[in-house]
Structure 1
Amino acid sequence: MAPPSIKSVLRTPEDFKMASRQSMYSSLPVAEQEEQDDWAQKMIERHGNCPEDKTWERRENPGGYQCDAGGHGMTDELLAEGKGGMLAIASKVWGDFKGPYYKNPVTGKHERVKT
């Protein structure tokens, strides 16, 4: 869960609707999955999460997105949360990640949330 100081990038009723469906991605009809992908890419862009400025591709098990460089990811749950949580994937193997990390609003750097 994101620290309370992190603001959501979910802005519109449509954002909240799409966020509520993101964790159900795999059970959605193909046309709705395409809509979710479009929305997810917009949210990832709002977050500005890949420090290497790469594009993101859909991954499964668990569902989410991984940057093309392989070192960063966002699960469907992090996208639905709307607060820019990012995962570090040192091995570049989807599913083998650490985090989440959230951008500190003061420093602008991603920091791991202690649970």
Structure 2
Amino acid sequence: MNKAKITTFIFYTIFFTLLVGCKQSSTDWAFHFVVWNEDIYEIDKSVIVDVEKEIGTVKKYVENEGYYKGVFSNFVPKGTKLYKIKDINVNEAIAVELDGYYIEARNQGKYGE
């Protein structure tokens, strides 16, 4: 092999090694949340005392960033119950049941916008 072919071979070997080695397989979400009624609610972990009726259930737990539909969360597991907080409009905040407690999740607007 001549010097040009060896140099080209080394270049492409290093290039593809770096390309494959630097690929990010997954990314982290910016904050813990639950999506309900097409709105994203940031879970702030404040304990809520008074809840009213159940308004939904988390249908899917997601780990990787992406676009998903329905009721899902990157923090609480599938099956987690969601509740209306007494005297608070659901457009402002909801309660998420976690380990026997109700924690607040504040509305951050429409999911995906």
TM range (shorter): under 0.3
TM-score between both structures, scaled by the size of structure 1: 0.25
Higher strand proportion (structure 1 or 2)? 2
Instruction: Tell which has more relative contact order, 1 or 2 (C-alpha 8 A, sep 6+).
Output: 2
Larger radius of gyration: 2
Q: Report which of the two has the higher share of helix.
A: 1
